[in-house]
Amino acid sequence: MVQLVVSELLTNACEHAPGPCPLDPELAGGLTGITVRDSVPALPVAGPADPRRVGRHGLEIAP
């Protein structure tokens, strides 16, 4: 599961932002933390939901 999440995060960062995309994995108390950064200073903005759209659904399903 962690490999899938890391793959998705890095794929999105590399696809949508130029430059390096550092990965910071953490293990603490049985929990896994994954931080991926990109070179774009602005936070992503969720667009309107569209179930017919292929891709770009991550922000729609994020809690």
> 20-61: per-residue pLDDT in tens?
999 999 999 999 999 999 998 888 777 787 888 887 666 665
Mean pLDDT of 2-29: 89
Residue 9 has pLDDT above 90, yes or no: no
Q: Which domain holds residue 47?
A: 2-61
Pairing of strands 31-36, 23-28: antiparallel
pTM: 0.67
Counted domains in the chain: 1
Predicted pLDDT at 61: 59
User: Helices (DSSP H) in the chain: which residue ranges?
Assistant: 2-16, 58-61
The predicted pLDDT at position 54 comes to 81
Q: What is the Cα–Cα distance from 42 to 55, expressed in whole angstroms?
A: 20
Dist CA 58 CA 42 (whole Å): 17
pLDDT of residue 58: 67
